[in-house]
Structure 1
Amino acid sequence: MLLCRDFKFDAAHNLIHYHGKCERLHGHTYHLRVTLEGAPDAEGMICDFAELKKIVGELVLSKLDHSYINDILPQPTAEYISMWIFRALDGALVRENCRLSEVCLWETEGSFVVCRREDVKDA
């Protein structure tokens, strides 16, 4: 089964290795979906939604929300941000019955990237 929880955060960035309007400083309201894959445990849950919210809040949102992402990643494309998020969450979301499956990150309402384990070399 897949268990998903959605989050939002606001952040600014600029793409310094890109030639176009996104090389200038600008911001987004990002939409993040964290997906776990697994089976229900003895309590009937893959993961408690409240626990997932706490982990994502501590490891991701506390660092990215209202930040200048270039201070964290030198070329903060949606692709690289999603990989950073996957790596940040992966170890904290390992359970007997589940693990992190994918991270989806929307930069705009219609544009998003999906990052899976195979996309992150050291995960």
Structure 2
Amino acid sequence: MKIGKVSITKLFTFDSAHHLIDYNGKCRNIHGHTYKLEITLKGLPDENGLVMDFHDLEAIIENEVLEKVDHKYLNDVFDFNPTCEMIGLWLWEEISKQVQNTRCTLEKLVLWETPTSYITIDRNDME
């Protein structure tokens, strides 16, 4: 069988509050979201047939990334306006650091702020 690169995706959720700075709309007031985060990694399967064990990916994201934002007031966490776009870029940077010494690369990140609104970042955007 031909072995090629494979993408794996895992979903996460976290709850955070924030308000938007210098914004003239409802979001200027403190409010919260249940964010949904989709992470896609790509790589060649190893000798066990895994790009990365889903359990290992979950541990990386939960312990190294989401613990910094879950159930937090994001304006106290970040030194930037915590828009969905900026949170997504921060997540990309943090997750990229965590997977840089693995067999795979971060290919795509989707951050849902609401059930109908999300941002997408893919590897081509960040090169």
Q: TM-score, normalised to structure 1's length?
A: 0.91
- Counterpart of 2:120? 114
Unaligned runs of 5+ in 2: 1-5
Pick from 74, 87, 99: which aligns with 1:81? 87
Alignment root-mean-square deviation, CA: 1.5
Shift in Å at residue 95 of structure 1?
A: 4.8
Aligned-residue offset at 1:94? 2.6
| Preserved contact between residue 37 and residue 100 of structure 1 (Cα < 8 Å) | yes
Percent identity at matched positions?
40
Asked if 2 retains the 8 angstrom alpha-carbon contact of 1:83 and 1:120, the reply is: no
TM-fit CA distance, 1:119? 3.8
For 2:110 and 2:56, the matched residues in 1 are separated by 19
| Of 92-101 and 64-73, the range deviating more from structure 2 | 92-101
1:1-123 matches, within 5 Å, as 1-73=6-78, 74-95=80-101, 97-120=103-126
Q: C-alpha distance in 1, partners of 2:51/2:100? A: 11
How big is the shift at 1:30?
0.4
What is the TM-score of this pair, normalised by structure 2?
0.88
Amino acid corresponding to residue 80 of structure 1 in structure 2: M
* C-alpha distance in 1 between matches for 2:43 and 2:101: 9
